[in-house]
Amino acid sequence: MKPKDFKPQFSWEERQPVISDGLLTVPQYYEGHETFTFPGWEIFPEKRPVCIEYCSGNGSWLTHRAKSDKERNWVGVEMRFDRVRKIWAKRHNLDLSNLFVVWGEAQTFTRHYISSHSVAEVFINFPDPWPKKRHEKHRLMKPEFLQELGRILEIGGKVTFVTDDRDYLLWTINHFLADKSFVSTYPDPFYIEEMGDYGSSYFDTLWRDLGRKIHYTQFYPMPCSS
């Protein structure tokens, strides 16, 4: 299977959510998300804990994890069509029935398609840092997205955020701390620079080869008091 074998399921004018061959298309600039019935994690052949990677890129980290950890179901969320095609092709070529691909914007998919308390773990690897001040509004790790993550995570679930961009790291940590419903796994300064067998990706390798430090921060929802 080659990336070019994946074709869009509709024209722009006819856009709508579609599940086909292990992939969900979540269209942009579309107002009918609530009318679409997403089957949830019944899309997987086996019921297992669900992990989501947002900003999956070409899928190297995701497919490695799905291949090495068959006791979990994995979801990759990516906006760019050229990257989605690569993940989809790898899913087929590696015969990863425990991997599902989402072509769409992270917050839209999370808000409209994921049930509350249904995700065991979230990974966000090297999202676009949008380094210019005037572009910060485009960053993924905004308060409203963190609220959605808190909603979808199971009790005991956690979010791991990885970046080479120190400004984005601190920006994200500050948003988590300000949220008050999240607790850091790590003590102040709330991040580490090595995480054992976490796995590698295109950007992880790229930035390490250029001598840049990789930062890991991790938060989990504060348990509700009984």
Letter for the amino acid at 85? R
Minimum mean pLDDT range among 156-160, 207-211, 213-217: 207-211
Domain identity same for 106 and 190: no
Domain identity same for 37 and 50: yes
Mean pLDDT score, 28-51: 95
H-helix or E-strand spanning residue 50: strand 50-54
Residue linked to tokens 């947002």? 54
The CATH number assigned to the domain holding 107 equals 3.40.50.150
| pLDDT of 202 | 83
Domain identity same for 43 and 131: no
133 pLDDT band (50/70/90 cuts)? Answer: confident
Q: How high does pLDDT run on average in the chain?
A: 94
pLDDT digits (tens, 9 = 90+) for 62-113: 999 999 999 999 999 999 999 999 999 999 999 999 999 999 999 999 999 9
Domain identity same for 123 and 215: yes
Catalytic positions are: 128
Minimum mean pLDDT range among 24-38, 151-165, 203-217: 203-217
Exposed, middle or buried, 151 (CB in 10 Å: 0-12/13-18/19+)? middle
Domain identity same for 154 and 46: no
Find the domain containing 206 and state its range. Answer: 115-226
Residues recorded for the chain: 226
- The dihedral built from the CA positions of residue 52, 79, 171 and 146, taken in this order, carries a sign that is negative
Of 93, 114, 135, the position where a domain reaches its end is 114
| DSSP assignment letter at 46 | S
| pLDDT of 131 | 86
Domain identity same for 72 and 151: no
- Helices and strands counted in the chain (H then E): 6, 9
Minimum mean pLDDT range among 36-45, 98-107, 133-142: 133-142
Distance CA 97, CA 44 (A): 7
Domain identity same for 56 and 121: no
Q: Residues of the chain with pLDDT > 90: what percent? A: 81
Domain identity same for 2 and 102: yes
Domain identity same for 126 and 107: no
More confident residue, 52 or 136: 52
Q: Residues of the chain with pLDDT > 70: what percent? A: 99
Of 114, 136, 169, the position where a domain reaches its end is 114
Domain identity same for 144 and 202: yes
Domain count, the chain: 2
Domain identity same for 59 and 37: yes
Of 114, 147, 168, the position where a domain reaches its end is 114
| pLDDT of 84 | 97
Q: Is the pLDDT of residue 135 over 90?
A: no
| pLDDT of 226 | 43
215 pLDDT band (50/70/90 cuts)? Answer: very high
Distance CA 26, CA 32 (A): 10
Domain identity same for 71 and 3: yes
Minimum mean pLDDT range among 102-106, 122-126, 133-137, 213-217: 133-137
224 pLDDT band (50/70/90 cuts)? Answer: low
